[in-house]
A and B are shown apart, each in its own frame.
Chain A
Amino acid sequence: MNSISTLMPLFVLALAGLFYVAGRARARNIAAGDFAALHSRPEQHGMLALLWVLLAGLSSYLVILIFGNWLITSSLLSEISSANPDLSGIEAQLVLSDAKAIAMDTVASRQGDLRSAIAARYTLLSTVLVWTMVLVPVALGIATGLRQMQNITLEWRARNRSETILRGFLFACAAIAVLTTIGIVLSLVFETFSFFNKIGWRVDKYLFGTNWSPLAGVTEGKMDPERVGAVPLFAGTLLITAIAMTVAVPIGLLAAVFLSDFASARVRAWAKPMLEILAGIPTVVYGFFAAITVAPALRGFGESIGLSVASESALAAGIVMGIMIIPFISSLSDDVINAVPQSLRDGSYGLGATKAETIRQVVLPAALPGIVSAVLLGVSRAVGETMIVVMAAGQGANLSLNPLDAVTTVTVQIVMLITGDTEASTAAGPAFTLGFTLFCVTLVLNIIALRTVRKYRELYD
């Protein structure tokens, strides 16, 4: 029985297909051979009928699916409480879930008259619901389909109408993406506010304090503003990002220049995919590469020249993160450098400039805005990168700008807060606030990057 209702979308689809064929046939009939007399082609009449049937069938199905269960639950709950007014809300819930278990022949925590009665009601109601879920969409679908059949005339603007429906559908898809983003941002904002509320709105302590151990000072839902200073995390993130970009920008950029202007077509054909494979390596792999290979190597090297290097150091994490970012920078820069028209290079060669002069004085300046945005995108990758720093950078929130020390980053602290033993509702506040801060930083970087890219486009179009 239940399987029929889950298969309903397919039935509706088949029904819609049927009406497509019917609509097309009817339109052909009406045209009677003179298709030019039709405003829309027969297929478009069919399509309109199909879309309407789908719309009516699926939307009624979804509405019944969502509200039916809710209706059953609430009516049974009210029956339970009218039969036994002493039960608290949670107890009533318990009775209901037992009743459902009885109805489905699985193990219930307790048996009883009330439970059996409710179970019988539940069985009845859900049977009714399943039948509604089957019959209503089919009936509605057929009704709409027939209505559409009647609409078909020579002048009926089926094409325009189905385009309107499709446009609405596309809009809905776009709206889902946008609304999800808005929802995520709102939940970040909400949690951030409640966190700031817990520290008595001492936002300054969060932004400028240097002592980070937010879970140590929790009392009665309040947090100690003295212990939520995020500066060590910002400093750590900044330090590691700086190291990563010092590695990634020169190497990535020079690799891009080589690929676009020096490499032969053959070298380019294998070198570029190789670089892109580098971009496809999961960051976990980079993470343990950093922790297991690079960090000990750095430590050994430091010892041999008399430097004390922490076993987890900003340098190790930064270098490996830089390697991870190289393909982003080189691939994006290669694209913008390639987009500089050959005629500009020709112009420069034609004046007797060497290749180096041409690249430095014509190609790179022309590609600069694109390169800047590639670098900014790289920075926002680095700021948000988690796995590598979790494994290789350290956890202690000590404020240090020495790349040989262990430092911690915003992302590492979020991971520790969420995966730690503290209950989620307490840990969520600082974690969401850190997340929101990161979001703001990367958002600003991305906006700047997109702006510069747009400016660059205007230059040639």
Chain B
Amino acid sequence: MGADLNKQKKVSEEVKITARGVNVFYGETHAIKDVDVDIRNHTVTAFIGPSGCGKSTFLRCLNRMNDTIDICRVTGEILMDDKDIYAPDVDPVQLRAKVGMVFQKPNPFPKSIYDNVAYGPKIHGLAQNKDDLDHIVERSLKRAALWKEVKDRLHEPGTGLSGGQQQRLCIARAIATAPEVLLMDEPCSALDPIATAQIEELIDELRKKYSVVIVTHSMQQAARVSQETSFFHLGVLVESGKTQKIFTAPEDERTQNYITGRIG
């Protein structure tokens, strides 16, 4: 019993988010079935799996974005820093300030590029003055590998950028609020290899301070950037563990088939 407690303590020092027995329903659809996952500090966790298996759905549970969908119901337990994020006294607004998100589809606000990035810092009061804010915007855009392309048109609408540029703008917007956990849903799906490499570099850099969860359809990308990998299939978590192990010696046949390209 004592040893057990000790072990739990030790785990939670490095585990940022613990999910236990999570089920998600969209009305009658059972989208996530009894999933247990640990997200560790200073770690990049990759979610992989065939389309429609529930990666985005599970990701959205981690910052309670599913609250905005009327028909969506989440059961089970998700702890962040040992506190239940679905407890009644938790304010989802505060939670989302700590757990940032980059959406699967780029969704820049119909505002200027500058205002898109400054949006989060402004509402959370992260900047003391205009210079501060300018600095945050520039730094975020640089880290998202977009600065060079937009530095002369910061006051043009963000919706006027190309798809890939919009995707990087949304990444810049998310990191500008300095979240503790960053959830990225296919952040490189519209990017060329160079921009992809830059974003992967960013993810690696973010890992020094935060934890990152990335959903990706690219096995190579999962192998390159992540230390932990979780494989989802039809709403079930089939296998999770060290990336190295998942990709070299998967235990489950379905994982094996997926990473070698036989299903999904």
Contacts and interface: CB of A to CB of B under 8 A. Distances in A.
Interface size range of chain B in the complex:
20 to 34
Given A349-B68, A349-B96, A350-B100, A361 B110 contact: no
Interface size range of chain A in the complex:
20 to 34
A106 B78 CA distance: 95
Contact of A351 (B70, B92, B100, B110): B100
B68 A346 contact: yes
19 contacts: A342-B68, A345-B68, A346-B103, A347-B108, A349-B65, A349-B68, A350-B96, A351-B97, A351-B119, A352-B97, A352-B98, A352-B120, A352-B177, A361-B123, A362-B109, A365-B111, A366-B109, A366-B110, A459-B110
Contacts of B92: 349
Contacts of B68: 342, 345-346, 349
A308 interface: no
B168 to A, nearest CB: 14
A296 B186 CA distance: 66
Contacts of A352: 93-98, 100, 120, 123-124, 177
B101 interface: yes
Contacts of A303: none
A351 B159 contact: no
Interface of B: 63, 65, 68, 70, 92-98, 100-101, 103, 105, 107-111, 119-120, 123-124, 159, 170, 173-174, 177
Contacts of B109: 344, 347-348, 362, 366
The binding surface of chain A is classed by DSSP as helix
Given A353-B93, A459-B110, A348 B103 contact: no
A351 B174 contact: yes
Contacts of B123: 351-353, 357, 361
The binding surface of chain B is classed by DSSP as helix
For A343, A346, A347, A365, which residue has the most chain B Cβ atoms within 10 angstroms? A347
Given A265-B70, A351-B120, A351-B177, A346 B107 contact: yes
Given A344-B109, A459-B110, 7 more contacts: A341-B107, A343-B107, A344-B107, A346-B103, A347-B103, A347-B170, A353-B123
Contact of A354 (B93, B95, B173): B93
Contacts of A342: 68
Closest 7 CB pairs of A and B: A352-B97, A343-B107, A350-B101, A351-B120, A352-B96, A347-B107, A366-B110
A347 B119 CA distance: 11
B70 A350 contact: no
B110 to A, nearest CB: 5
Contacts of B120: 351-353
Contacts of A351: 96-97, 100, 119-120, 123, 173-174, 177
A459 B92 CA distance: 30
A346 B65 contact: yes
Contacts of B103: 343, 346-347, 350
